[in-house]
Amino acid sequence: MRIDVVTIFPDHLAPLDDAIVGRARRAGLIDLYVHDLRAWATGVHQAVDDSPYGGGPGMVMTPTVWGEALDAVREAVPDDPGVLLVPTPAGAPMTQRRVAGWATATRLTIACGRYEGIDGRVTVDAARHGPVEEFSLGDYVLAGGEVAALAAVEAVSRLVPGVLGNPASAELDSFSDGLLEAPAYTRPETWRDLDVPPVLRSGDHGAVARWRRDRSLERTAAVRPDLLDRLGAAAFDRRDREV
């Protein structure tokens, strides 16, 4: 998979050299390029923003610079525009389901906004060339799209075949079955007078699976009841309904 990130703060993407994503890049599983938007800015000040039409505070990122940048990045692989991802608090939330869809693309480009965001015509124009998806990290406002880009690249990378040592870990993660994962434990068996739940040491795989499912249901009901509603009755068996 090829990923291009366009930003005015390329250094903010430095963590993509580390850990899982860094290893995936070095293994040739992910081809990642970070571009400085200002490379497409003209004029002595290399401005990338201007005041908003209609008035109001702040500055808006100009379509002329973004248009040139996205055209150039897209043309790097002329027959594959891939999916353009645009982080914005005004987008639909980034969910594991959406991430799983992005992970099947051969190419992703992420356009990181700053200031009051990117001129609204940029996504309209980009959609003439390929799919565009706006996404939000959550109901809060960040200063720029770089943190959202880091989150998207890391979440997608975990699902690219070969990136995780054990692909089963992604299959068992929270959200894969629509629920939050049960708590996890490791040695020592007792720590600060707190014991690991005995069933996890029983060797009874059926009982362990049941225990995990129960805790997963409890946890989801407590903090994300909306996820249970979304699953619908057919996702639960008789035993689930007793929890």
Pick out residues in 113-152 that bind ligand SAM (CB under 6 A).
Answer: 113-114, 116-117, 136-138, 140-145, 148
Closest separation in Å from C-beta 138 to ligand SAM: 5
Closest separation in Å from C-beta 51 to ligand SAM: 14
Residue 88 in the binding site for ligand SAM (CB under 6 A): yes
Please give the backbone phi and psi of residue 27, each rounded to the nearest 5 degrees, phi first.
-85, 0
Closest separation in Å from C-beta 239 to ligand SAM: 38
Q: What SS3 state is found at 4?
A: strand
Please give the backbone phi and psi of residue 2, each rounded to the nearest 5 degrees, phi first.
-105, 135
Residue 112 in the binding site for ligand SAM (CB under 6 A): yes
113 has binding-site annotation: yes
Query: Are 99 and 173 within 8 A, CB to CB?
Result: no
Q: Is 5 exposed, middle or buried (0-12, 13-18, 19+ CB in 10 A)?
A: buried
Q: What is the phi-psi region of residue 39: left when phi exceeds 0, alpha when psi lies from -120 to 50, beta otherwise? A: alpha
Residue environment code for 102-133, b if the CB has 16+ CB neighbours within 10 A, otherwise e: bbebebbbbbbbbbebbbeebbeebeeeeebb
Pick out residues in 172-211 that bind ligand SAM (CB under 6 A).
Answer: none
137 has binding-site annotation: yes
138 has binding-site annotation: yes
32 has binding-site annotation: no
Residue 64 in the binding site for ligand SAM (CB under 6 A): no
Beta-carbon count within 10 A of 71 CB: 13
The nearer residue to ligand SAM, 41 or 152, going by C-beta atoms, is: 152
Closest separation in Å from C-beta 16 to ligand SAM: 17
Q: Which stretch binds ligand SAM (CB under 6 A): 66-74, 98-106, 108-116, 160-168?
A: 108-116
Q: Is 189 a catalytic residue?
A: no
Asked if the peptide bond before residue 188 counts as cis, ω within 30 degrees of 0, the response is yes
Q: Which stretch binds ligand SAM (CB under 6 A): 33-41, 69-77, 83-91, 176-184?
A: 83-91
Choosing from 89, 197, 214, 219, the catalytic residue is: 89
What DSSP string runs through 122-136? Answer: HHHHHTTTS-EEEEE
Residue 52 in the binding site for ligand SAM (CB under 6 A): no
Catalytic machinery residues: 89, 116, 158, 173
Q: From the annotation, which residues make up the binding site for S-adenosyl-L-methionine? A: 113, 137-142
Residue ranges in contact with ligand SAM by CB under 6 A? 87-90, 112-114, 116-117, 136-138, 140-145, 148
